[in-house]
Amino acid sequence: MKLLLFDVDQTLINTGGAGVRALDRAFRKILSVDNAMEGVPRHGRTDTSIVRHALTARVGEDAATPDVLETIIEAYLSFLREEVELSETYRVLPGIVEILRELSGRADAMVGLATGNVEMGARIKLDRGGLNSYFAFGGFGSDSEKRPELVRRAADRACRSFGSDIDPQDIFVIGDTPLDIEAALDAGFRAVGVATGDYNVDELRESGAECAISDFAEGRYLFSAFIE
């Protein structure tokens, strides 16, 4: 059995900034802070660690209590659906629908998510593109603030649903940032880079991806050959 675990933002879809706008609105509503996300690194990070970073930067070291984190993430989710729906540049990335169709038609492959989004956020983002039906399970930012841990959780859920262990050599984590790649390797799995975000193929390879493709339209055959 092969297990393919996909990141969400810049790997499956691009929301056209809906996530950052929803986070900004959450900070404005809860803390009356404007442009809270300015300068806060987001790509490849978990929702909780992004909010924690912004709270520390805008309010102070002690601001990120579990209660405040939860309140902001709840407000974020309440704005996210609208921001995703209204986003003018939302798109499903090239070749994604085709590769998901192909993989989900195989009896020897399972497809899941490995994303820093809290699960509800990932589901809202994927819903507009009609992609939720491909992903019965995943590891999410709501499972752990640390990416290697949520990748492991995704694999655990896959094994439980498969009813048996899956060889780590057959587990592939697909993402657009060096943090996705590092998390895959840290968890003991294999890493595939896709250059549809801020990093190019060479950068993804240098960060440890065994296979890196420009996107799933161009790189579909390379990817399919690699996972065999």
Q: Is residue 7 at the binding interface for Mg ion, with CB under 5 A as the rule? A: yes
Give the shortest CB-141-to-Mg ion separation in angstroms: 12
Q: Is residue 143 at the binding interface for Mg ion, with CB under 5 A as the rule? A: no
How many residues touch Mg ion (CB under 5 A)? Answer: 4
Closest CA to 73 of 44, 113, 43, 116: 116
Q: Is residue 47 at the binding interface for Mg ion, with CB under 5 A as the rule? A: no
CA distance 126 to 158: 20
Q: Is residue 48 at the binding interface for Mg ion, with CB under 5 A as the rule? A: no
Give the shortest CB-29-to-Mg ion separation in angstroms: 26
Closest CA to 152 of 183, 107, 116, 108: 183
Q: Is residue 182 at the binding interface for Mg ion, with CB under 5 A as the rule? A: no
Tell me which amino acid residue 57 is: A
Token pair 């994604």 in the structure block, residue: 96
| Region near Mg ion per CB under 5 A, out of 95-103, 119-127, 172-180, 208-216 | 172-180
Q: Looking at 3, 4, 6, 9, which residue binds Mg ion (CB under 5 A)? A: 9
Question: Distances from the Cα of 12 to the Cαs of 9, 92, 96, 197, 223, in angstroms?
Answer: 6, 6, 6, 10, 15
Q: Is residue 145 at the binding interface for Mg ion, with CB under 5 A as the rule? A: no
DSSP bridge pairs for 92: 13
Q: Pick out residues in 98-127 that bind Mg ion (CB under 5 A).
A: none
In the complex with Mg ion, the residue whose CB is nearer, 29 or 146, is 146
Which helix (H) or strand (E) segment is 221 a member of?
helix 220-227
- Residues in contact with Mg ion by the rule CB under 5 A: 7, 9-10, 176
